[in-house]
Homo-oligomer: A and B are copies of this chain.
Amino acid sequence: MTMPIVTLTTDFGLKDHFVASLKGALYAAIEGVTICDISHLVSPFDIQQAAFTLGHSWHRFPEGSIHLVGVGPAPSTRFNHIAFRMKGHYFIGANNGLFSLLSNERPDEIVEICPAGAEPTAFPALDVYVPFTAGIAAGLSLASIGTPIEGLAELIRPRHFPEDDVIKGSVVYIDSFGNLITDITEKEFESVGQNRRFAIELIGDEINSISRRYSDVDEGDKLALFNSEGILEIAINQGKANQLLNLRLNAVIRIVFNQ
């Protein structure tokens, strides 16, 4: 058996000792483990952002990877802690809704590893998740380390259902380049659009074509492209779209197709 990779997605920041304590405990519990940071700069308690960041990267890792998440209002008397398996990957974290935003896939198996309010300390990533991560890394089945439960706690995302000639979506993430990432998929765009001409409506402006690369337009020009995840991005070649197009997180994006 190859040693699995453990990834870490947290809001712990990079200055304090939290990440180091967690990694030290993982190295001590799982000899030879490879640990990979997803991000520790998730905004405090921002489970949407954490879901976006992990959601855009987990599936790149080899099957068998264990994704440990320490973000959000947790520990809490309201949330239990869970481990689950999805497409050959394992996830461990608080059942606070974050995982329901991660993917359109459904988990194959979910177990509760710590009931709500039963955390032994204020640092469950260290005191609860590490031993269960070690168990999974050692090849234990989820059923043998926790109590099976049915579904993930769900966070409802506002979803705009496509009409015949219009797709509505929102800006769900703004990356550090200022690119505006929406929740509109290439699949939806193709299915509604059927190769018709279209306008992606911006404030007092519009985009009428899909680029493949940022540099397909001149420096400083706006563009739209489907990123590596097949998600619509509004960007400016070598510029900050969020500032120049005056669009914020959760702004509504409309694509109108020619009738």
| Interface residues of A, Cβ cutoff 8 Å to B | 2, 5, 7, 12-25, 27-28, 31-32, 34-42, 44-45, 52-62, 65, 73-78, 119-123, 126-127, 175-177, 211-216, 219, 225, 227-228, 233, 238
Contact = CB atoms under 8 A, between A and B. Distances in A.
Nearest to A23: B36
A177 B219 CA distance: 33
A219 B59 CA distance: 34
Count of this chain's copies in the oligomeric assembly: 3
A228 to B, nearest CB: 5
A219 B121 CA distance: 18
A39 B25 CA distance: 16
A252 B2 CA distance: 51
A16 B77 contact: no
A60 B127 CA distance: 11
A39 B14 contact: yes
B21 A73 contact: no
Contacts of A18: 175
Given A27-B36, A27-B61, A123-B227, A16 B176 contact: yes
